[in-house]
A = this chain, B = another copy of it.
Amino acid sequence: MRLTADAFEKLHHVSTASLTSELLKLGFRNTFMKGVHPLKKGKSLVGYAFTLRYIPAREDLDLEVDYDNLTNPQRIAVEKVEQDEVLVIDARGEVSAASLGHILCTRLMCRGAAGVVTDGALRDYPSIQELDFATYAAGAHGTTSSVLHHPVDFQVPIGCGGVMVQPGDVIVGDDEGVVVIPSQVAEEVAHKCYDRDRLESWIQQKIATGVSIINVYPPNEETKAEYRKWLAEQGEKTC
């Protein structure tokens, strides 16, 4: 299930904080990944989850320094991620070795991927920061993934940062972190959240002039009317 171009574009202009509120209204309480931060401030992320699952490594199967691109699920996955997809890695929150590095991030960027999200660590973190590519991780660690991680399969449902991620779920990231939008509600949430963010931005500017939050945040009917009037003056649709 893909978003309309309008919804996809709007998600680039909303905050992850605001998205959690719209999702909470639909009953989803746990949508913001815990402990997952952007490597590159100011680079927003919108895309569809392509999932990759790691389990603990075992010496007979892992520990290599050079990986086999034809059999290793991590490598196969990297060459399968498509335009606008986000590689989301379930690294069990384990940050004592990396889950991906600079060259594979470069490859994903060149494939048109929207970004990378892991609840483990990334390595070559300083070099990755220099790419024009949205990357989010729980830490940085120099050690290659095979010391602790065994990539086992991809495009299965996973957990990442304590949140369920289904293949195809919509992933949005900003400087605050990463939110997972279940695919079946993503179109609706994108539109509602865009409207919410416009309203909240207007409220914030009003509060910045020195008025009290009472009647304004949340807005009462009078404030809502004032907002609708302002919106109309901007030649925009009402909330």
A interface residues, tally (CB under 8 Å): 84
By beta carbon, the residue of chain B nearest A152 is B157
User: Contact between A164 and B25 (Cβ–Cβ < 8 Å)?
Assistant: no
Inter-chain contacts of A141 with B (CB < 8 A): 32, 34, 176-177
Number of copies: 6
Query: How far is A32 from B142 in the complex, measured between Cα atoms in Å?
Result: 6
Contact A142 B176 (CB under 8 A): yes
Complex formed: what's the CA distance from A152 to B157 in Å?
Answer: 7
Q: Would A207 and B24 be within 8 Å (CB), given that A60-B182, A125-B176, A213-B78 are in contact?
A: no
Q: In the complex, A172 Cα to B92 Cα: how many Å?
A: 24
- Chain B residues with CB under 8 A of A179: 142
A17 at the binding interface (Cβ < 8 Å): yes
B147 touches A29 (CB 8 A): yes
**B213 touching A175, Cβ below 8 Å:** no
A189 on interface, CB distance cutoff 8 Å: no
Flag whether A104 is at the interface (Cβ < 8 A).
yes
Q: Does chain B have a CB within 8 A of A143?
A: yes
Q: List 10 A-B contacts (CB under 8 A).
A: A17-B123, A21-B65, A28-B60, A29-B147, A55-B159, A110-B209, A126-B174, A127-B204, A140-B176, A141-B176
